Amino acid sequence: MKCYHVDAFAEKVFEGNPAAVCVLDKYPSDELMLKIAIENNLSETAFAVKEGENYHLRWFTPGGEIDLCGHATLGTSYVLFRFFETKAESITFNTMSGPLTVVKKGDLLEMDFPAYELKQIPVTPEMDAAYGVKISEAWLGRDLLCVTEDAEAVPTMTPDHSKLAELDGLLQHITARGTDYDCVSRSFCSKLAVPEDPVCGSGHCHIVPLWAKKLGKEEIIARQVSPRGGTLHCKMNGTRVTLAGSAVLYSIADLFIEE
C-alpha cells in the first residue's frame, strides 16, 4: 500500500498541516485504517477509493473516523491531481458530509465545503481556564468556537488540553480579529487524540462564517497561527464555504501490512 505524506495549506515542507493519503482499489477494514492512522500519528490519514467518476473519501484521526476534514481533502486532491488524474481540472469526493469538489485555481486548490450553523452560547469560567486567555464570545456548531479580543495571545497561548476535552464540541477553536489577515486562529482536538491541528479546514467552516458576518465581507484571508502556520483563502457562498490553499509532497512510502 502506497502512503503519501503531504503538507497541506503550505508553500514548502514543514509548514501547514501534514496529512497521510492512501489511494486504494477498495477499503480495508475500519480496524486496519484506524491502526494505520495511529501508526502514522498525524492528525489525519485519508483513504480514497475510485467510485464511478468520483472518489469516495474517508478520514481517520488516531482517535477514530471523522465526518469532515479540510487539510486531508486538500492533500488527497493534490495526490490525485499529481499522480492519478493528471489531466483533470476538478475532482469530486463522496463523503460523510456529502459531495465535496476540489478545483484547480492557478497554484491553489479550491475546496467547496458546507458551512456549519453556529449558535451563540454563554461564555463560562471553564472556557477561560481551558484556553488560558479571556474569552469574549462562544459559538457552537459541530465544534466549539471561542473568540478573544487578545489577538497577540493566540500564537503563544498554552491551553490545558485536559480541560479543553471537557468543553462542548468535537474540536475546540479560538479566534481573534487579525491585523495582517482578516482573522487568526488555532484549533485543538484533544477528544481525538490530537492535541493541536496545525491548519484546520473543517474548523474554518466555523471560523469563516463568523468573521464574514462580523466584518461584512464574503472573502476572508485567514491565518492559523499554530507553530507550523498556514494561510487559507476563503469565501462564503450562501451556506457553503470555499477554502483554497497550496500543498507540497514530503514523502511517498510503502506500507508493509496485511489484513
For 141-171, write each residue's pLDDT tens digit: 999 999 999 999 999 999 999 999 999 999 9
Distance CA 151, CA 185 (A): 9
Distance CA 141, CA 119 (A): 7
Choice among 11, 31, 39, 44 that is catalytic = 44
Going from the first residue of the chain to its last (259 residues), give the mean pLDDT of each consecutive group of 10, the final group possibly shorter. Answer: 95 94 97 97 95 97 92 96 96 95 93 94 98 98 97 96 96 96 96 89 95 96 94 94 95 89
Task: Indicate if 51 belongs to the active site.
Answer: no
In 25-136, which residue ranges form alpha helices assigned H by DSSP? 30-40, 70-79, 125-131
For 185-202, write each residue's pLDDT tens digit: 999 998 988 899 999 999
Q: How far is CA 141 from CA 1, 65, 88, 119, 172, in A?
A: 36, 18, 34, 7, 10
Hey, is 193 helix, strand or coil?
coil
Hey, is 176 helix, strand or coil?
strand
Q: Which of 205, 131, 136, 120 is nearest to 172 (CA)?
A: 131
Distance CA 109, CA 104 (A): 5
What is the residue type of 75? Answer: G
Which set of grid coordinates corresponds to residue 158? 498554552
- Location of C-alpha cell 456549519: 116
Distance CA 50, CA 192 (A): 27
Residues in the chain: 259
Q: Name the helix (H) or strand (E) containing 213.
A: helix 201-215
Q: Return mean pLDDT, the chain.
A: 95
